[in-house]
Chains A and B, each alone.
Chain A
Amino acid sequence: MSTPKIEMQDVHKRFGSNRVLRGVDLSVAPSESMVIIGGSGTGKSVTIKSVLGLVTPDKGSVLVDGKDVRKWKRETLLDKFGMLFQGGALFDSLKVWENVAFRALRSKSTEECRELAIEKLRRVGLKPETADQLPAELSGGMQKRVGLARAIATSPEIIFFDEPTTGLDPIMSDVINDLIRELVVELKCTAMTITHDMTSVRKIADRVAMLHDGVIQWTGPVGDMDASGNPYVEQFINGRADGPIEAVR
C-alpha cells in the first residue's frame, strides 16, 4: 500500500472553550479526490487549515507524504498546495493576471507570468481580456474561476477546495464542479474538498468523509455513501431535520 498523500492522526483543536476538532483521523491517497461533508461550524475549514499550517493543532499530527508538517520546510510544503477559497480570496488591489500568477511573479518575468495567467484563465473558461480586470469587476462565478486558475497555476500536487459552489447558481455550480473534476484528473493531483452541496459531492468525490462533533463519523467510497447505514450520513445527505445531528447548534 502506498504512503497516503495526507494523513491526519488524532487531531485536536480548540478555540477558547469551543472544542472544534476532537480527534480527527483521516487518510487521503495520492491522486484521490476526498470530499469532507458536514454541517456549518463542524470544523471542516479548521481541518483543511490544520493541514496547511494556518491553524496549529493542539494535539495529534498531520503528515504530508509521510512526513509531519512541522518537519517540512514551510515554503517547500506550501509549494505542494493550491487552494480555492470559499469567497475566492482574490487580492483586490491586483489585476486578475497578477492574482493568477502571484506565486510565479517571484521567479519569472512579467511577460512570462502574464502568458501563464492567460493560459490558466483559458483553462477555466475565461477570456484573455479578463486578465487586465480587477477582481471587483467580475461576477461571483468568474471570481471562483479566477480562484481556480490561481489554485492550479503552479500545477500543485494537492489542491484544496473550500465550499467551491457556495453562492453560485446551479448552472455555474455545475460548471465549477465539472472543472474541478477535469482538473484533478488532468493534473493527477490529490484533491480535498469541503462542501455541504450534495451535487458537488457526487460529481467531485472518489471518497467521502462525514465530519460531525469534531470527529470523522464515516468515511468510504462515494458509491457507498447512500447505503452507508451511518445515521449521521443518512440524515445529512437526505437533508432531514430529525436525527442525531441537532438542527440548532
Chain B
Amino acid sequence: MAALSVLHGFVAGVGATVLGFCQAIGAVTLFALRGLLAIVTPPWYPRELLRQIMKIGYYSLPVVGLTAVATGGVLALQIYIGGSRFNAESVVASIVAIGMVRELGPVLGGLVVAGRVSAAIAAEIGTMRVTEQIDALTTLSTNPFKYLVAPRLLAGVLTMPILVAVADTIGIMGGWLVGANRLGFNPETYIRNTVDFLTFGDIASGLVKAAVFGFIITLMGCFHGYNSGRGAQGVGRATTNAVVSAMVLILAFDYLLTELFFST
C-alpha cells in the first residue's frame, strides 16, 4: 500500500512537471507569435527601435569584443598545442577562423549578450509591470506589445548578426596576434590561410545562428519581464529566469541549427 502511494506520488510529480513544461512552451510560443505579429503590423515605433538597437547592439560591443579577442587567442594556442602532436601546426589559422565563424562567435557572443541583454530587458519590463507602467501604456491607447516587445525583438534579430560579425573579426584577429607574436607564424601567411579556408557557407551559417540567438535573447527577456511577479522578488526571479532560459535555448538551438546546416 505504501509502495503504491509512493508510486502514485512519483507519477503525479512527473505528470505535473510535464504539464507545466508543456504549458510554458505554449505560453512562450503564443507570446512569440504575438510579438512577431506586432513587428509586422502598424503602428511602428522607429524611435524605440533605434533606442533598442543602441542598447542591445552598440553597448554590447565592448563585452562581446573582449570575449572574442580572448577566445581567438586561446583557440590559437590550444590548436597549436593539439596540432603539434600530429605535426599539424599549420592548420591553426584555418581552424581558428572556422571555429570562430561557425561556432564560437555566435555561441559565446550569444551567451554573453544573453547575460547582459536578457537580464536588462527582463528587469526593465518587469519593473514596468510592477509599477503599473504597462497598464499606463494601455490606458494611453498604446499596445504594450507594439511599443515594448516588437522593437526589442526586431533590434535583437537585426543587431546580433552585426555583433557576431564584429566578434568573428576580432576573434580571428586575436588568433592572428597570438599566432604571429607568440607562435612564430608569418603574419601575412596566417591571414592568407584564414581567408582561403573560409567559405560563404561558414559565414552565413554563423550569422543565421546569430539572428536566431538575438530573437531568443530578446524574447526571453520580454517574456519573463512581461509576466513578472509582484515586488522586487518577482522582478529578480524574472531576471534570473530570462538569463537561464535564454542560455539553455541558445545551446539547444545551436545544436539544432548546426545539425540543419550540417545535413544540407
Contacts and interface: CB of A to CB of B under 8 A. Distances in A.
Contact of B135 (A49, A79, A90, A106): A49
Contact of A75 (B51, B131, B133, B141): B141
Interface in A98-153: 102-103, 106, 150
A106 B135 CA distance: 18
A74 B51 CA distance: 28
Contacts of B135: 49, 54, 85, 89
A156 to B, nearest CB: 10
Contact of A83 (B128, B131, B139, B142): B139
Contacts of A11: none
B141 A85 contact: no
B140 interface: yes
Contact of B141 (A86, A87, A91, A103): A103
A7 to B, nearest CB: 20
Interface string A69-82: 00000110011011
A103 B43 CA distance: 13
Interface string B130-145: 0111011111111000
B139 A91 contact: no
Contacts of A90: 133, 136
A12 B127 CA distance: 29
Q: How large is the interface on B (under 10, 10 to 19, 20 to 34, 35 or more residues)?
A: 10 to 19
Contacts of B137: 91
B132 A81 contact: no
Contact of B132 (A53, A89, A102, A150): A89
Contacts, number: 47
Contacts of B131: 87, 89
Interface string B107-129: 00000000000000000100110
A52 interface: yes
Interface SS of chain B: helix, strand, loop or mixed?
Answer: helix
A79 B141 contact: yes
B133 A89 contact: yes
Nearest to A49: B135
B133 A81 contact: no
A52 B138 CA distance: 9
A107 to B, nearest CB: 11
A65 B124 CA distance: 37
A90 B136 CA distance: 8
B132 A85 contact: yes
A92 B43 CA distance: 22
A150 B141 CA distance: 13
Given A89-B131, A106-B43, A83 B136 contact: yes
Contacts of A53: 138
A78 B139 contact: yes
Contacts of B140: 78, 102-103, 150
Central interface residue in B51, B135, B136, B138, by most chain A CB within 10 Å? B136
Nearest to A77: B141
Contacts of A85: 132, 135-136
A20 to B, nearest CB: 15
B133 A91 contact: yes
Contacts of B136: 83, 85, 89-91
Contacts of B43: 106
B50 to A, nearest CB: 13
A100 to B, nearest CB: 11
6 A-B pairs closest in CB distance = A89-B136, A89-B132, A78-B141, A83-B139, A85-B132, A103-B140
15 contacts: A52-B138, A52-B139, A54-B138, A78-B141, A79-B141, A82-B139, A83-B139, A85-B132, A86-B132, A89-B135, A89-B136, A92-B128, A93-B51, A93-B124, A106-B43
Given A92-B127, A93-B51, 7 more contacts: A78-B139, A85-B135, A89-B131, A91-B136, A91-B137, A92-B128, A150-B140
